[in-house]
Structure 1
Amino acid sequence: MVLGQSDADLWNATPVAVFLVSSLAAFVLECRPKNDKLYDWILSNAANGEESESLLARSPEKRANVFSRFTFAWMTPLLEKGRRTPLTMEDTFPLRKDFYPDEVSAKLQRHWQRELKRQTPSLLRASIRTFGSTWALSSAFKLMSDIVSFLNPILLSRLLGFVASYNTPQGEPIEYGYFYAAAMFIVACVQTLASQQHLVQNQRIRTIMKAGYITAIYQKTMLLSNDT
């Protein structure tokens, strides 16, 4: 049975419709705050119910959606409070669990113990297993920023060509000018967001690596002191 023209068009449009509907659903779901279960570690470390609720309210990063994380909008309440009154230590958010020195050191030690079972143990391999995900995320943002940075000169060249040939027989339609201008704006926004995320991830790498290595060295020093 041969499909008619209308049936063929409907068949070709179905994947596009499914993609648009699923993208819209994902967008709506992502705009919602994350579940409070992600804060179980805060609740378990809190002294009582009132303190746990206070900590939960003051720790918005884990519940922030991807748009809030990209734009750092989850920090807006803290910045707004700092604009009105001087901030104190009590106003800052609790430290994330993956920044705890004992957590980072324990993870590094687990991977190092695996390396000790090898014929040639490598601290580099243990470090990659411990901090590799953060490295990869930082590198991805850096790559995105570098790739996008090459698009702006191309778009600017096309925009200048559009302006130079405007109102001439060889000129492009006005819609092309709007497209080039909008594309340059979007590219600049993406480059800025990717660059800032890269800087944030680099700061996180330095923090957790320093915490892991210093704690591991301190523990090793204490063991050597006890042996002597």
Structure 2
Amino acid sequence: ICGSFARIRCLKQQPCYLKCSPEKSASFFSKVTYSWFSRVITLGYTRPLEREDLFELNESDSSYTVCPIFEKQWRKEVLRTQERQKVKASFHKEADTTKPSLLYALWNTFKSVLIQVALFKVFADILSFTSPLIMKQMIIFCEHSSDFGWNGYGYAMALFVVVFSQTLILQQYQRFNMLTSAKVKTAVNGLIYKKTLLLSNVSRQKCSATHGHDIKPQSPLVCSFSNSDGHFSPLARAGSSSASRGGSPCICYTNKCFSCN
């Protein structure tokens, strides 16, 4: 175990030969269009990419930053569960079998990003509801040609702004969603691997058919997270089908307005 931690420490202290990511210094337009990554795509088209061609991960996205924060929240959740068990045991004879909640620890670790992802999805759904309403006004304007001409230009410009904004927000939603999913899997996998290093020989023999294979006990848990899709978070799963659900009331509202007219 000491040798494993020593190797991890040596890896952490090794100098980084990768280049810093230009995403930090890129402009807003470059981040939205991913033009800062165009050079790597062009280089990969001409020849196979090498390690020196890639960029270093952002510090906030690396395992050195994500794993310690999640481990801190997990320890808080374990202590909170133990204190609650002691309090219940002092009043009741039956022991409390409540276990620490992994989802609660994940929520405390990534709640700011998850809320941001949820807000992006809400704004995108609002804009998707607004587009048919603008199109309805454009159809009414075409049917009544006696109206002022500037109304049509206004409706066209408003529709362009709404659709363009919806595309940008959905792009940011997908980006933060996939990034949060990768952080969650990194944090959980890091905690599982660290727990495996602390297992006793008896526990290892129970979990592994071959003595000394540290990778065996956590393989099913790691694979379950690694094989999960990008929409890991419950907020993303709930919002993935919200567009189809949000289109139904929009169509009903539009049909009702047409029937009234």
Per the shorter chain, which TM-score range?
Answer: 0.5 to 0.7
d(CA) in 1 for partners of 2:43, 2:120: 30
| Offset, 1:187 | 1.0
Match for 1:112 among 48, 63, 74?
74
Structure 1 SS opposite 2:153: helix
Using the TM superposition, give the Cα deviation of residue 222 of structure 1 relative to its aligned residue in structure 2, in angstroms. Answer: 1.3
The Cα of 1:192 is off from its aligned counterpart by 1.0
Partner of 2:63: 101
TM-score w.r.t. length of structure 2: 0.59
Gaps of 5+ in 2: 1-11, 85-99, 204-261
Cα distance in structure 1, aligned partners of 2:13 and 2:19: 10
Report the Cα distance in structure 2 between the residues aligned to 1:182 and 1:64, rounded to whole angstroms.
29
- Local SS of the residue matching 2:198: helix
Structure 1 equivalent of residue 125 of structure 2 = 146
SS in 1 for 2:159: helix
Listed one character per residue, the Cα deviations across residues 10-66 of structure 1 (whole Å, up to 9, x for unaligned) are xxxxxxxxxxxxxxxxxxxxxxxxxxxxxxxxxx98849xx5xx724xx11112233
What is the CA–CA distance in structure 2 between the aligned matches of 1:63 and 1:226, rounded to whole Å? 49
Instruction: Give TM-score scaled by structure 1 length.
Output: 0.67
Structure 2: how far apart are the matches of 1:46 and 1:65? 31
Q: Is the 8 A contact 1:102 1:215 kept in 2?
A: no
Shift of 1:76: 3.2
1:219 CA displacement? 0.7
Is contact 1:145-1:194 (8 Å) kept?
A: yes
Query: Unpaired segments of 5 or more residues in structure 1?
Result: 1-43
1:137 aligned residue: 116
Superposed, 1:1-228 pairs within 5 Å as 47=15, 55-56=19-20, 59-82=21-44, 85-89=46-50, 90-118=52-80, 119-120=83-84, 121-166=100-145, 168=146, 171=147, 173-225=148-200
Contact 2:74 2:102 in 1 (8 A): yes
Kept in 2: contact 1:55–1:94 (CA 8 A): yes
TM-superposed CA distance for 1:176, in Å, is: 0.9
CA RMSD, Structure 1 to Structure 2 (Å): 2.5
Q: Percent identity?
A: 33
Q: Hey, what's the Cα distance between the residues in 2 that align with 1:218 and 1:80?
A: 37
Distance 1:126 1:225 in 2: 25
The AA in structure 1 aligned to 2:40 is L
Rounded Cα–Cα distance in structure 1 between residues aligned with 2:111 and 2:28: 21
Poorly superposed stretches of 4+, deviation over 6 Å: none
Question: Greater shift after overlay, 124-133 or 67-76?
Answer: 67-76
CA 1:98 to 1:227, structure 2 compared with 1: closer, same or farther past 3 Å? farther
Kindly indicate whether the alpha-carbon contact (under 8 Å) linking 1:108 and 1:130 is maintained by their aligned counterparts in 2.
Answer: yes
The change in CA–CA distance for 1:82 and 1:189 in structure 2 (over 3 A counts) is farther
Rounded to whole Å, the distance in 1 between the matches of 2:48 and 2:117 is: 29
